[in-house]
Amino acid sequence: MEVDAVFFDAGETLLYPHPSFAELFAEVLREEGLRVDPAEVQEAVSASSHRFNELLRSEEAHLWSTSPERSRAVWDTIYRSFLADVGIAGDHDRLVQALYERFTDMASYRLHPDALPTLERLRTTDLRLGLISNFEEWLERLLEALEVRHFFDVTVISGIEGVEKPDAAIFRIALERAGVPAERSVYVGDNPVFDIEAAREVGMIPVLIDRRGRHPDTEATRITSLDDLPAAIGLQA
């Protein structure tokens, strides 16, 4: 595999809500006096993945990451759906506000343990490194807080650029800024639709990071840890 550049998604590829989305969700509810098993939340999240892919591709969610108002509206829909799925009845306004505040707090995020070693390994090569993410504009500050911003030659964040995956334009912006051809560029992400299919449409080489083994049938190079990425793209140990 001849590769000039490796681009990464951010959420659930390099970084994640700590200790997990489900546990953080349950923790917020617990602080509000409600008991929910994180396993129930995770079950709701897993069962809803297709539904929320469709939501994020809908006109209702168009450019959701490009303003606080759009972001809040989309996450409002998502959080209310999860609350209903786990059996929380009644007025959700206070809970949704508490959830939105927690999940937009930079202190709620950590790097996956395999992220930093992989970035350090790739940085010893001649490869260009980049990031392409559907995320609000504060991702730039989060990358700084997590001390990984300096690894990337190019960062293309939808909340700043005004274009979101799966639109090919966001990938082309990154490729142009990095000065690399699509066919010699790898894109690593966790979502089969927004990452794998979208990158392939542009001509990039998609790699699916599937830590929980949720997408065994996805047609792409598939890894369960970023530790396996260098070998997957042909780098010597």
- Where are the domains positioned within the chain? 5-15+109-232, 20-108
Which long-range contacts (C-beta less than 8 Å, at least 24 apart) are formed by 83-87? 85/44, 85/47, 85/48, 86/36, 86/40, 86/41, 86/44
pTM exceeding 0.85:
yes
Please list, in sequence order, all residues whose beta carbon lies within 8 angstroms of the beta carbon of residue 135, skipping any fewer than 6 positions away: 10, 11, 65, 157, 158, 159
CB-based contact 226:209 (threshold 8 Å): yes
Q: Among residues of the chain, what percentage have pLDDT more than 70?
A: 100
Q: What parts of the chain have a pLDDT lower than 70? A: 237
Q: Where does 5-15+109-232 sit in CATH, by number?
A: 3.40.50.1000
185: CB partners within 8 A, 6+ apart: 3, 4, 5, 6, 7, 175, 178, 204, 205
Structure tokens at 37: 């098993």
User: Could you say which DSSP state residue 124 is in?
Assistant: T
Q: What is the pLDDT of residue 232?
A: 97
